[in-house]
Amino acid sequence: MLEDGAEYQYDMMRCLREVNVDNNTVGWYQSTYLGSHINEALVATQYNYQESIPKCVCLVWDPLLQAQGKLGIKALRLSNEFMTLYKSQEFTLDSLSKSGLSWEDIFEQIPVTVTNSHLIKGWLLQTPPRQPACPTQMYAKKADKEPFLEKNFECMIESIDQLSQDSARFQYLSLIHI
C-alpha cells in the first residue's frame, strides 16, 4: 500500500510538472480528532519521508480545534535521536527506555505560521462576521467562556490519550507473548 501511495505521488508530480506547476514535496498531511494521530503508521510513514527528504514535515489537522476558532494545524517531525533509534531496527519499549527517550521525545513540533496576501487581508476586513452555522460552533464559543468546562475537557482528552497509549502497549505486549 505504501508503494501504491509513492507511485501515485510520482505520477501526480509528473503531471504537475507537465503543466508548469511547482511540485516540490515538503511532506504530507494527516487529519485527526482530539489528538489521536500518533500511532505506528504515522511513525513509519514519517520515517520513510524523512529518510528521503531530511527537512520533511507531517502536517496534522484537527477539524475540532478549527471549529473552536483555533488553528488546528501542527507540523511534526521525528527527532534526530528517535530517527537513529528507529534506523537500528530495534524499536521496542526496552530500547526506547535504554536510549533515555520518552514518548514526548519521539516527535518535535515545528512552529506553523499562516500568512495571507494583502488582497485577502483587505477582503477579510470587509467581510461581516459570520454567525455560527452549526450548534458545535456555538458550544465551542460557550466553552471559551467557561474555564471549568474547558479544563474538564482537557483532562478528558489527556485521559483518552493515555488510554489509547496503554491500549497500544497492551496490544504490542500481547503480540510478543503469544
Q: What is the pLDDT of residues 78-127, one digit of tens each?
A: 988 888 888 877 767 777 777 777 777 788 999 988 888 888 888 888 88
Grid cell, residue 172, equals 504490542
pLDDT computed for residue 41 by the predictor: 82
Helix, strand, coil percentages (3-state) for the chain, rounded to 5, are: 55, 10, 30
What is the 8-class DSSP label of residue 27?
E
Q: Which residue has the higher pLDDT, 105 or 160?
A: 160
Q: What is the distance between the alpha carbons of residues 96 and 102, in angstroms, rounded to a whole number? A: 7
pLDDT band at 68 (very low <50, low <70, confident <90, very high): confident
Question: CB-based contacts of 55: which residues, under 8 Å, 6+ apart?
Answer: 26, 77
pLDDT band at 77 (very low <50, low <70, confident <90, very high): very high
Mean pLDDT value across the chain: 78
Q: What average pLDDT does range 139-162 have in this prediction?
A: 71
